[in-house]
């Protein structure tokens, strides 16, 4: 969701030749930042909703839960404890409930895992993984969009509904480009995601003492499970999750830009 909102800072889409003296109404520039934020936020919400059920399965895979062994920056810091508790609850399976609910999980982590610091296990790989994921995702989508509209504007593009002088990708092309961008970005940043999840699970895992830092966790996962079954375990499922998520996020954002007259 944060990634989708960050799209508001992206470069404007390629424009078609504009007649002399033409220009959009001044009113369209009013509250541009707010309309951009709303467009990105709505895109992120839609994307997250489409793949929410797959998040739990991915957590179980990344942490090697034995019941599922057959299955092949400011905003982050503020919301990280909620993500921590969500992961702990998602990892639980029937008959092995460590936490009875959200409040109990918060109280237990605070009391047994070092107070407030206990809620921020895995924050470092989260932050380090954001840069390659966001950078590669935006760069890939922007490049595909630019190349497509430059070389095949008639086939791939259409005039924007809020500004006929601006070309935008057709909806199905937007979905395709967003999906490709998400897949490539996830492939590059996935080891950080696996490391973060295992660190977040903390005392729930038997190897807790061997995974206290990011370096120790990566070393442990690589040493015991290797690359394919360790650092990239669950990646195929994550493609099923992230490809539609990013496709929906980028496409919704492009549509919201037109709705809020951002082109």
- DSSP per-residue codes, 225-237: HTIIIIITTTHHH
Reduced to 3 states (helix: H, G, I; strand: E, B; else coil), residue 162 is coil
DSSP 216: H
Higher pLDDT, residue 79 or 37: 79
DSSP letter for 245, please.
Answer: H
Kindly state the average pLDDT of the residues 36-42.
66
Q: Name the least confident of 22-31, 170-179, 203-212.
A: 22-31
Specify the 3-state DSSP secondary structure of 174: helix
Residue 87 CA to residue 60 CA, distance in Å, equals 9
CA distance 174 to 176: 5
Specify which of 27-31, 37-41, 72-76, 133-137 reaches the highest per-range mean pLDDT. Answer: 133-137
- Residue ranges per domain, the chain? 49-257
CATH of domain 49-257: 1.50.40.10
Pair of tokens at residue 50 = 């489409």
Confidence band of 13 (pLDDT split at 50, 70, 90)? very low
Other beta carbons within 10 angstroms of residue 130's beta carbon come to 17
Question: Dihedral of CA 229/231/232/234: which sign?
Answer: positive
pLDDT per position as a tens digit, 217-252: 999 999 999 999 999 998 988 898 888 888 988 998
Q: What's the whole-number average pLDDT of the chain?
A: 79
CA dist 87 and 217 (Å) reads: 17
């Amino acid at each position: 969701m944060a990634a989708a909102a960050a799209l508001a800072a992206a470069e404007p889409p390629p424009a078609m030749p504009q007649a002399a003296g033409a220009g959009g109404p001044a009113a369209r520039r009013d509250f541009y930042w707010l309309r951009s934020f709303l467009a990105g936020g709505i895109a992120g919400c839609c994307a997250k909703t489409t793949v929410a059920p797959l998040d739990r399965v991915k957590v179980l895979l990344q942490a090697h839960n034995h019941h599922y062994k057959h299955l092949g920056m400011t905003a982050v810091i503020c919301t990280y404890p909620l993500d921590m508790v969500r992961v702990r609850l998602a990892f639980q399976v029937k008959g092995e409930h460590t936490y009875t609910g959200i409040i109990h999980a918060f109280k237990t982590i605070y009391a047994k895992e070092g107070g407030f610091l206990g809620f921020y296990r895995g924050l470092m790989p989260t932050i380090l993984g954001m840069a390659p994921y966001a950078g590669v995702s935006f760069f890939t989508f922007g490049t595909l969009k630019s190349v497509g509209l430059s070389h095949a504007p008639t086939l791939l593009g259409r005039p924007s509904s809020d500004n006929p002088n601006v070309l935008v990708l057709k909806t199905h092309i937007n979905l395709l480009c967003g999906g490709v961008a998400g897949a490539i970005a996830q492939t590059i940043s996935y080891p950080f995601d696996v490391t973060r999840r295992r660190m977040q699970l903390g005392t729930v895992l038997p190897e807790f003492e061997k995974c206290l830092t990011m370096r120790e966790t990566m070393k442990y996962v690589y040493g015991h499970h290797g690359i394919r079954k360790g650092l990239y375990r669950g990646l195929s499922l994550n493609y099923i999750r992230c490809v539609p998520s990013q496709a929906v996020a980028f496409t919704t954002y492009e549509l919201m830009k037109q709705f809020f007259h951002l082109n």
